């Protein structure tokens, strides 16, 4: 008698922007307290088309176009969150989010402490980061480390379709502010996903590629470059493990240290500037907690210490690329 056939889970092919839209739509359906606000998110559908069609489905009361004022967007969202709503604010790029830092850092991040535990601020702020599209310095930077520096907020970098599809549920459940970084350069990338989203834990890093020789630690847009570099290294017989930090605050030390304890070598890659960046923090923690596991110093790769150039060849030269990652891995491999 043959074994019963097990049905494969239903899947759907989505771009990353469609995965984000599905997540937003499900959040709006699931909870009447959820509403969206931001510049051009309504009739225009958002600068990156993530909110396209949601105004027609949910109406202007729940998909709210705002004036071009980041400080107003963040302030309105924080006030609504303190009064029982679950706002999801969109700030077009992280360069523009600097205008809202006063609201995020001095209000959202501190309110629970300053009120003696009386007021949580369950606000979700979506913004974008990353270069590679020739949009020059005011639209291309990666300011994740600025937000990750601040106690009182959770910072998440969304680099995969699975995370994009499922990230809003735990973000909205968090009683404290959550800042989500998305990456326009991969918005049109497609992937096959289960129809029902697989839950994600925002506090943990994800091992995107297992390996035994060296640990490559990254987040956000650079994950895809690092995975490509890992495949290049494999042709040379170097088996690289790739860790997607995913959560930048809090950092998942346990996953990183466990990997480094097995591979004995680490390279940290980020698109933000190296100085005072996430890579610097990871390198410090690995050195503090796993110094005697290391067979070589931790290598760090980041953006060149310049405003992002417009010219394509200069932009490419400023950003981490596969050859520079491969060269860094070879350096740590030859120091053992």
pLDDT tens for each residue of 199-256: 888 889 999 999 999 999 999 999 999 999 999 999 999 999 999 999 999 999 999 9
Q: Are 179 and 147 in contact (CB under 8 A)?
A: yes
Question: Which residues are paired to 217 by β-bridges?
Answer: 243, 268
Choose among 189, 257, 194: nearest CA to 223: 189
Mean pLDDT, rounded, for 268-285 = 96
Element spanning 23, H or E: helix 16-30
pLDDT tens-digit readout, 150-174: 999 999 999 999 999 999 999 999 9
Q: ∠85-88-90 over CA atoms, to 5°?
A: 145
Cis-peptide, bond into residue 250, ω within 30° of zero: yes
Task: Give the per-residue pLDDT at 3.
Answer: 60
User: Which strands form 178-182's sheet, in the order they lie side by side?
Assistant: 63-65, 34-38, 86-91, 124-128, 178-182, 154-157, 247-249
Task: Give the separation between CA 218 and CA 238, rounded to whole angstroms.
Answer: 18
pLDDT tens-digit readout, 51-61: 999 999 999 99
pLDDT tens-digit readout, 290-299: 999 999 999 9
Query: What is the share, in percent, of the chain residues with pLDDT greater than 90?
Result: 90
Choose among 47, 32, 119, 38: nearest CA to 79: 119
Element spanning 296, H or E: none
Choose among 271, 272, 256: nearest CA to 215: 256
Rg for the chain, CA atoms, rounded: 20
Give the residue numbers annotated as catalytic, written as ranges.
70, 139
- Alpha carbon of 24 to those of 28, 121, 135: distances in Å? 6, 19, 27
Task: Give the per-residue pLDDT at 301.
Answer: 97
- DSSP tally for the chain: helices H, then strands E: 14, 14
Q: How does DSSP assign 94-158, residue by residue?
A: HHHHGGGHHHIIIIITTHHHHTTTS-----EEEEE----SS--GGG----HHHHHTSTT-EEEE-
In this prediction, residue 134 has a pLDDT band, given cuts at 50, 70 and 90, of confident
DSSP 3-state assignment of 53? coil
Task: Give the separation between CA 131 and CA 244, rounded to whole angstroms.
Answer: 19
Q: Are strands 214-218 and 206-209 parallel, antiparallel or unpaired?
A: unpaired
Which tokens belong to 138? Answer: 């005011």
Task: Give the separation between CA 325 and CA 335, rounded to whole angstroms.
Answer: 16
Give the list of residues 6+ apart from residue 330 with CB closer than 8 angstroms, or none: 238
Task: Give the per-residue pLDDT at 8.
Answer: 65
Task: Give the per-residue pLDDT at 133.
Answer: 85
Whether 9 has a pLDDT exceeding 80, the answer reads no
Intra-chain end-to-end CA distance of the chain, in Å: 56
Domains of the chain: 11-194 (3.40.50.970), 206-333 (3.40.50.920)
pLDDT tens-digit readout, 70-96: 999 999 999 999 999 999 999 999 999
Choose among 308, 307, 260, 322: nearest CA to 288: 260
Residue bearing tokens 């520079």? 324
Mean pLDDT, rounded, for 313-326 = 96
Whether 6 has a pLDDT exceeding 60, the answer reads no
Task: Give the per-residue pLDDT at 203.
Answer: 87
Q: Are 244 and 160 in contact (CB under 8 A)?
A: yes
Q: Identify the DSSP state of 43.
A: T
pTM of the model: 0.94
- Alpha carbon of 50 to those of 20, 54, 55: distances in Å? 7, 9, 12
Whether 177 has a pLDDT exceeding 80, the answer reads yes
Q: Are 189 and 15 in contact (CB under 8 A)?
A: yes
């Amino acid at each position: 008698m043959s074994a019963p056939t097990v049905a494969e889970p239903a899947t759907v092919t989505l771009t990353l922007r469609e995965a984000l839209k599905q997540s937003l739509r499900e959040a709006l359906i699931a909870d009447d307290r959820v509403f969206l606000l931001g510049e051009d998110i309504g009739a225009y559908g958002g600068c990156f088309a993530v909110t396209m069609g949601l105004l027609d489905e949910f109406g202007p009361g729940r998909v709210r176009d705002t004036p071009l004022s980041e400080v107003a967007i963040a302030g309105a969202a924080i006030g609504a969150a303190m009064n029982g709503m679950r706002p999801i604010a969109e700030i077009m790029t992280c360069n523009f989010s600097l205008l809202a830092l006063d609201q995020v850092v001095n209000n959202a991040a501190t309110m629970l402490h300053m009120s003696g535990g009386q007021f949580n601020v369950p606000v979700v702020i979506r913004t974008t980061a990353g270069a590679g599209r020739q949009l020059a310095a005011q639209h291309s930077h990666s300011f994740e480390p600025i937000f990750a520096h601040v106690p009182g907020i959770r910072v998440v970098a969304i680099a995969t379709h699975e995370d994009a599809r499922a990230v809003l549920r735990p973000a909205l459940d968090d009683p404290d502010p959550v800042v989500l970084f998305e990456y326009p350069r991969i918005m049109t990338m497609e992937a096959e996903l289960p129809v029902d989203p697989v839950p994600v834990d925002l506090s943990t890093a994800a091992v995107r590629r297992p390996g035994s020789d060296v640990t490559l630690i990254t987040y956000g847009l650079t994950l895809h470059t690092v995975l490509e570099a890992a495949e290049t290294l494999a042709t040379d017989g170097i088996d690289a493990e790739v860790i997607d930090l995913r959560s930048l605050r809090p950092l998942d030390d346990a996953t990183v240290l466990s990997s480094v304890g097995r591979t004995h070598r680490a390279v940290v890659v980020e698109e933000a500037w190296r100085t005072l960046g996430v890579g610097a923090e990871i390198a410090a923690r690995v050195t503090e907690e796993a110094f005697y596991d290391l067979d070589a110093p931790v290598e760090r790769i980041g953006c060149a210490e310049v405003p992002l150039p417009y010219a394509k060849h200069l932009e490419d030269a400023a950003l981490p690329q596969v050859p520079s990652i491969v060269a860094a891995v070879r350096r740590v491999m030859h120091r053992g």
